[in-house]
Amino acid sequence: MGKNRILSAKTSQDIDQRIERVLKGLGNPEPPLRLEDIRHLLKIDRRFYTAKDPSIVKEAISRIRVATIQVYQRPTLILDAIKKFSLKALYLPDRKRILLDGDLPEKKHRWNEAHEIGHSLLPWHEDVMHGDNAHTVSADCHEQAEAEANFAAGRMLFLRNRFTDEARATPASIALVRQLHLKFGNTLSTTLYRFVEMSGQDRPIIGMITDHPHVSKRPASHDPAKPCRHFIQSPAFATRFSRMPETDMFTAVASYCGAQSGGPLGRSEMILTDDNGDQHRFYFETFYNRYDALTLGVYLKAEARIIAA
Ligand SMILES: [Zn+2]
């Protein structure tokens, strides 16, 4: 996922209209969106490849009109090519076929599949997309196509404005993020990203996905210099609190979290200092689902300034 480049209003609108047509074609379904229904509607075929069974990729790769990959014809070398080019998924326009890396955790398939469906819906991608890797086309062109496919995937999986409307209709909380995660069927991290982004356009909100914050529960792999798997700042937060390092935020979160092995770990009001040096009150809460700790921090109000006489 990562940070997307900003698409032009015209491009976003064009892509969104294509997603709208697809969803309309399915009778504007209720969440969670079933990607098999979309594949059926668009007559797209899906196959998985694995390190143990690369035959499907061998067939695909030989069809890709890209010189750098055409070199690799022998199956063992094709796997090297996949690793080298970090191929995680492919869309083959001539076959209307999506190839997914079956070795990736299943929860990642949904986003990758939606991303490839996104490519399939954008006709101008046909010339540039013959495999998801950074080397087949110019980096800039590739980055643009990737951002467009990610935008399409997001609009699809979160049912256009449906998620945003639901996210904004209720006060922001971890409970709401978890509820939307289950309802829309997307991973906790993509849901948190979307939530922070959509609910935090004007209001500073921060989301973090980390190891268990309690010092006695941190795994051996915990990296104190990089404690957040995801450190998500809403647009309003990023503008006003740009100097807030993730290490400080994690330490602050750890200060109120208990050592429970699951469920809510704690909550606290916290004071954060903005880029102008002014102090603001936030409400933080953290939940542990036995894999990830999920933290949400929501802006409450500016702290009263005490001015000495
Ligand atoms: Zn792509």
Rounded CA-CA distance 171/299 in Å is: 11
> How much is the pLDDT for 135?
47
Q: Calculate the alpha carbon distances from 299 to 14, 251, 274 in Å.
A: 34, 19, 12
Lowest mean pLDDT among 57-71, 116-130, 213-227: 57-71
For 122, phi then psi, to 5°, come to -110, 100
For ligand 1, the distance from its centroid to the CA atom of residue 157, given in whole angstroms, is: 16
On the question of pLDDT at 107 being above 60, the answer is yes
For ligand 1, the distance from its centroid to the CA atom of residue 128, given in whole angstroms, is: 10
For ligand 1, the distance from its centroid to the CA atom of residue 84, given in whole angstroms, is: 16
Rounded CA-CA distance 126/215 in Å is: 50
Q: Calculate the alpha carbon distances from 72 to 85, 128, 151, 274 in Å.
A: 12, 20, 32, 53
For ligand 1, the distance from its centroid to the CA atom of residue 119, given in whole angstroms, is: 7
> How much is the pLDDT for 65?
43
On the question of pLDDT at 86 being above 90, the answer is no
For ligand 1, the distance from its centroid to the CA atom of residue 225, given in whole angstroms, is: 31
- Region 83-101 average pLDDT: 74
For ligand 1, the distance from its centroid to the CA atom of residue 181, given in whole angstroms, is: 24
Q: Calculate the alpha carbon distances from 205 to 73, 196, 200, 231, 293 in Å.
A: 49, 6, 5, 11, 17
Rounded CA-CA distance 18/23 in Å is: 9
- Which two three-digit tokens encode residue 33? 């969106």
- Region 252-265 average pLDDT: 97
- Region 87-106 average pLDDT: 80
Lowest mean pLDDT among 57-61, 102-106, 273-277: 57-61
pLDDT band at 114 (very low <50, low <70, confident <90, very high): very high
For ligand 1, the distance from its centroid to the CA atom of residue 82, given in whole angstroms, is: 14
- Other CB atoms closer than 10 Å to residue 11's CB: what's the count? 15
On the question of pLDDT at 87 being above 70, the answer is no
pLDDT band at 71 (very low <50, low <70, confident <90, very high): very low
On the question of pLDDT at 59 being above 70, the answer is no
What is the average pLDDT value for the chain, to the nearest integer? 86
On the question of pLDDT at 201 being above 80, the answer is yes
On the question of pLDDT at 247 being above 50, the answer is yes
For ligand 1, the distance from its centroid to the CA atom of residue 146, given in whole angstroms, is: 5
> How much is the pLDDT for 6?
76
> How much is the pLDDT for 3?
46
For ligand 1, the distance from its centroid to the CA atom of residue 73, given in whole angstroms, is: 23
For ligand 1, the distance from its centroid to the CA atom of residue 161, given in whole angstroms, is: 23
For ligand 1, the distance from its centroid to the CA atom of residue 108, given in whole angstroms, is: 14
For ligand 1, the distance from its centroid to the CA atom of residue 132, given in whole angstroms, is: 5
For ligand 1, the distance from its centroid to the CA atom of residue 149, given in whole angstroms, is: 6
On the question of pLDDT at 173 being above 60, the answer is yes
For ligand 1, the distance from its centroid to the CA atom of residue 213, given in whole angstroms, is: 34
For a pLDDT cut of 90, what percent of the chain falls above it?
Answer: 65
For ligand 1, the distance from its centroid to the CA atom of residue 90, given in whole angstroms, is: 7
On the question of pLDDT at 84 being above 60, the answer is no
For ligand 1, the distance from its centroid to the CA atom of residue 248, given in whole angstroms, is: 34
For ligand 1, the distance from its centroid to the CA atom of residue 65, given in whole angstroms, is: 16
- Region 124-152 average pLDDT: 71
pLDDT band at 134 (very low <50, low <70, confident <90, very high): very low
For ligand 1, the distance from its centroid to the CA atom of residue 88, given in whole angstroms, is: 9
On the question of pLDDT at 2 being above 70, the answer is no
pLDDT band at 49 (very low <50, low <70, confident <90, very high): confident
pLDDT band at 145 (very low <50, low <70, confident <90, very high): confident
On the question of pLDDT at 1 being above 50, the answer is no
For ligand 1, the distance from its centroid to the CA atom of residue 129, given in whole angstroms, is: 7
> How much is the pLDDT for 283?
97
> How much is the pLDDT for 60?
62
- Region 195-201 average pLDDT: 91
For ligand 1, the distance from its centroid to the CA atom of residue 100, given in whole angstroms, is: 12
Lowest mean pLDDT among 75-79, 162-166, 229-233, 286-290: 75-79
For ligand 1, the distance from its centroid to the CA atom of residue 89, given in whole angstroms, is: 8
On the question of pLDDT at 69 being above 90, the answer is no
